[in-house]
Amino acid sequence: NAGVMQNPRHLVRRRGQEARLRCSPMKGHSHVYWYRQLPEEGLKFMVYLQKENIIDESGMPKERFSAEFPKEGPSILRIQQVVRGDSAAYFCASSLFEGGMNTEAFFGQGTRLTVV
């Protein structure tokens, strides 16, 4: 059973380009979370998704950022018109919903985005 898979592991984009980050949850997990980690900081929550549904996007910047988790395929975090301040490590986590609650979430290895 593979863990949470993120790709690419490293992504370099020029200012103004778009960045697409992918996350495949653990097998059987239906809930996905995205976090951002700035250098020397802890992780900050961005968005929580179920299949075809955004549950909580309170941590997402209002502009340029969007996330989806389609019925088929990985979850995508999309950043349009990237700026240098978007450079960070983006982590995805997934969990199972069981017995009316979420189980412990497991994190992927992250995508390190560098905007040049």
Partner 1 sequence: ELKVEQNPLFLSMQEGKNYTIYCNYSTTSDRLYWYRQDPGKSLESLFVLLSNGAVKQEGRLMASLDTKARLSTLHITAAVHDLSATYFCAVDLSGGGADGLTFGKGTHLIIQP
Can residue 74 be called a binding residue for partner 1 (CB under 8 A)? Answer: no
Shortest distance in whole angstroms from residue 115 CB to partner 1: 18
86 closest CA partner among 31, 6, 12 = 12
The interface mask with partner 1, positions 42-71, x = CB under 8 A, is xxxx--x------xx---------------
115 to 44, 62, 82, 85, 98: CA distances (angstroms): 19, 19, 7, 8, 39
Q: Which stretch binds partner 1 (CB under 8 A): 18-26, 60-68, 69-77, 101-109?
A: 101-109
35 closest CA partner among 106, 115, 114 = 106
| Residues in touch with partner 1 (CB under 8 A) | 31, 33, 35, 40-45, 48, 55-56, 91, 93, 95, 97, 101-110, 112
